[in-house]
Chain A
């Protein structure tokens, strides 16, 4: 038997409390991704070439590195939330659903670490 009142059980779910956290975070990251995504695409299309030197030189500019970090982190956060909804809709069975969500979360974390490392390594390398 639960000692929680029905009200306490309802709080934090649905439209109350943290229940809107997922929805809000998805929207806030979406709003951030509009300018960041446009910047990324137009920035890449204005590169003189996609050869190693030109791309590395582009990423060594501090603002490019900062904006790219912001983009990939917002994108991975947004992706984590979006994939969560897809898994919740299409993976049936509580065990399989929980496992899928844990795997998705861990893969997204690994992806974030990988991208931050790769960007930092190129951006922080001394220009010779």
Chain B
């Protein structure tokens, strides 16, 4: 018998908002597991003393480090907003197709606004740099 695509299968389905939001939720969740590893690296450096911390802060505060941090922040904000959407579904609200589309747009808008506000605070406030 010919092997058939099994769910979850990304190659054969038409891309629609529910699928995109579901995949994004998963990817941002996995990203945050990597983010916790980075948090452990940062806090272990802090626990090891000023010299180790300065080395870690220089690495995280470099341009690639800052881009990475911004990426983790974006993943965090998306997963948070999308997670609240999931919790409303679990409570039994917003399960209609049209409502799910609206809540996805809401999640995207909220993610954009909250991420922009936090990024301004972290990256563009004078004296907030790592060095």
A82 is contacted by which of B8, B29, B54 (Cβ under 8 Å)?
A: B29
Interface residue tally for chain B (C-beta within 8 Å): 34
> Could you tell me if B54 and A52 are in contact, using CB atoms closer than 8 angstroms?
yes
**CB of B26 within 8 A of chain A?**
yes
A119 to B40 CA separation, bound complex (whole angstroms): 9
> Could you tell me if A111 and B61 are in contact, using CB atoms closer than 8 angstroms?
no
> Could you tell me if B47 and A76 are in contact, using CB atoms closer than 8 angstroms?
no
Per the 8 Å Cβ criterion, residues 46-64 of A in contact with B are 47-52, 55-56, 59
B residues near A, CB below 8 A? 8, 26, 29-30, 32-33, 36-37, 39-40, 43-44, 46-47, 50, 53-54, 57, 61, 73, 76, 80, 83-84, 86-87, 90, 118, 121-122, 127-130
Q: Report A69 CB to chain B, min CB distance, Å.
A: 11
| CB closest residue in chain B, given A44 | B122
A35 to B23 CA separation, bound complex (whole angstroms): 24
| CB closest residue in chain A, given B26 | A86
A66 to B46 CA separation, bound complex (whole angstroms): 17
A79 is contacted by which of B36, B61, B87 (Cβ under 8 Å)?
A: B36
Q: Which residues from chain A contact B76 at a C-beta distance below 8 Å?
A: 37, 41
18 cross-chain CB contacts under 8 A: A27-B87, A27-B90, A34-B84, A38-B80, A41-B73, A41-B76, A50-B130, A55-B53, A72-B39, A79-B36, A82-B29, A89-B8, A90-B8, A115-B40, A115-B43, A118-B40, A118-B46, A119-B43
Q: Which residues from chain A contact B73 at a C-beta distance below 8 Å?
A: 41
**CB of A83 within 8 A of chain B?**
yes
**CB of A45 within 8 A of chain B?**
yes
**CB of A101 within 8 A of chain B?**
no
